[in-house]
Homo-oligomer: A and B are copies of this chain.
Amino acid sequence: MVKNQIPDIVVGRLPRYLQELLHMTQKDQKTTSSQELGERLGISSAQIRKDLSQFGEFGKQGTGYSISYLIEQLQVILKVDKVWDIALIGAGDLGHAIARYQGFKNRGFRVAMVFDNDPAKIGSSIGDFVVQDTANIGTLVEQANIKVAMLTVPVSAAQEVAEALVRAGVRAILNYAPTPLNLPEHVCVQYIDPIVALQHMTYYLG
């Protein structure tokens, strides 16, 4: 399969291209160039052309890229030409922020269920959601055929909850708990840890 030959680091840049292209359409821009995209994103234009060329021919020499066409193509490549339901586990401060986050719209995702194991939170409302008992992940997530989850639970609970999600059929987990998850190879895991990003920057500070 061609897919396996594309380095993960290239795949990881595509969502950033897509995001910037969406910003451009919001400003009614119709075409762009690898130079312009590169300047906005801090990536070289050669890198952008090379990345995109791995997936096909999206632009013409001299005339650049049609933004709407490139958006459509990237959405298909990243499989966000549909909307993925998300199970959100952990209804603390961060879970609240995510459940109410408006930025999912038109980007391929929506939070569909919110879980917590705290009896004080189960049954309470966050925006449009009623918080479900984490103990019911197995049945609820599987019935709803949810494949994507976001984890905003404490470190101590992360592995156990992640395993329950995988048993229920989840194949992609975005983990906010600052701990690595040990899961079967067919499950994708990405981490969001502000400290990792902060430490990356302080390296460069005098």
Alpha-carbon gap, A101 to B97, bound state (A): 13
Asked if B192 and A194 make an inter-chain contact with CB atoms under 8 angstroms apart, the answer reads: yes
For the complex, count residues of A whose C-beta is within 8 A of B: 60
The one of B42, B150, B180, B203 in contact with A20, judged by C-beta atoms closer than 8 angstroms, is B180
* A200 engages B12 (CB within 8 Å): yes
Does A192 contact B192, Cβ atoms closer than 8 Å?
yes
The interface residues of chain B lying within 8 Å CB-to-CB of A103 are 178, 193-195
Tell me which of A103, A192, A204 has the highest count of chain B C-beta atoms within 10 A of its own C-beta: A204
- How many angstroms between the C-alpha atoms of A9 and B200 in the bound complex? 9
Distance of A181 from chain B, by nearest CB (Å): 10
Chain A residues with a Cβ under 8 A of chain B? 9, 11-12, 14-16, 18-20, 23, 40-42, 77-80, 84, 86, 92-94, 96-98, 100-101, 103-104, 107-109, 147-148, 150, 171-172, 174, 178-180, 182, 188-205
Min CB distance, A50 to chain B, in Å? Answer: 16
Q: Is the beta-carbon distance between B194 and A150 smaller than 8 angstroms?
A: yes
Residue from the list B94, B179, B188, B198 in contact with A205, Cβ < 8 A: B188
User: Is B15 within 8 A of A196, CB to CB?
Assistant: yes
Contact B199 A78 (CB under 8 A): yes
A200 to B11, CA, bound (A): 6
